[in-house]
Amino acid sequence: MKKIPYLHIVLFVATFATTLAAGALQKGVNIFKMPGRIIEGFPFAGTLMTILLCHELSHYIASRKHHTEATLPYFIPSPTLIGTFGAFIKMKSPIITRKALVDIGASGPIAGFIISLIACIAGLSMSSVVPLSNAAGTLSLGDSLLFSFLSKVIMGATPEHYDVLLHPVAFAGWIGLFVTSLNLLPIGQLDGGHIAYAVLGEKHRYLSMVLVSVLLFLGISAVLGNSGWEGWLMWAVLMLILGIKHPPVLHWEVPLDPKRQFIGLFSLIIFVITFIPAPFKLV
């Protein structure tokens, strides 16, 4: 008889509650004075939780398919602007082949990317253009190549001294694309690191070193007042702590077929079009 995963359920419910509160607060709702209006955060919370759930369940299903033992998703609630620090699954057995490494590494980001893309398209169609004078003191979001393209196609050209005020669904989609790009960084044991190691082998370590250096440069540049984001410093340090070297697979000799090579290339394209050098800045 299988045990009921109480911890996973409790964390999921708690994270849904914190993202619901975050979504309501984004709409100006004081949930302490008007707790009944917390439901107004559902468009944001429902979208973001769907993106995270699809990402992690895709990892889980791919792991089971390749006989790699993995846990159900752990969601992480937090009292932040978006109400969560994300979600993850934990691998409990080695990954056997390079094919499995690509499938497990790419499945989550690709699934999350598709749902995020749908959310961005739907959310941008409900967004509005506002004068920048109304946005003083607010957080401005950077644009990836993909989000900038979608915004221009759906919203049209933004007039000078105006900006797009994102609908909560579009904001959740933006976060989904940003999280996808973070996961696809080809460093260490991130999802992108799994894919890069499957393709490059031990050369992946040198790629990780170069990219950590790039993140350090972007972070230091932001601290000095230039373009970039200070958060890249934290990410660079985190990557060094977690390790930039990838553990070997059990059967390296099994080659990658054309399908997995295409998945690797597609994942690289997703990373390029979703990466944002300066994702956050104060207006």
Of 281, 279, 264, nearest to 194 by C-alpha is: 264
Average pLDDT, the chain: 93
Quick check: 132 pLDDT over 80?
no
Quick check: 250 pLDDT over 60?
yes
Q: Stretch 157-186: mean pLDDT, rounded?
A: 93
- Please, which residues bridge with residue 75 across strands? 87
The string of pLDDT tens digits covering residues 37-71 is 999 999 999 999 999 999 999 999 999 999 999 99
Least trusted range by pLDDT, from 54-63, 223-232, 235-244, 247-256: 223-232
Tokens for 38?
């917390």
Per domain, the residue ranges of the chain are 6-282
The string of pLDDT tens digits covering residues 137-162 is 567 899 999 999 999 999 998 888 78
State the Cα–Cα distance between residues 212 and 218, nearest whole angstrom: 10
Quick check: 281 pLDDT over 80?
no
Class of residue 217 by CB neighbours under 10 A (exposed 0-12, middle 13-18, buried 19+): middle
State the Cα–Cα distance between residues 76 and 78, nearest whole angstrom: 7
Asked if 145 and 231 count as a contact pair (C-beta separation under 8 A), the reply is: no
Query: Confidence class of residue 226 from pLDDT cuts 50, 70 and 90?
Result: confident
Q: What is the pLDDT, as a whole number, of residue 73? A: 96
Select the more confidently predicted residue: 29 or 130.
29
- Please, which residues bridge with residue 74 across strands? 88
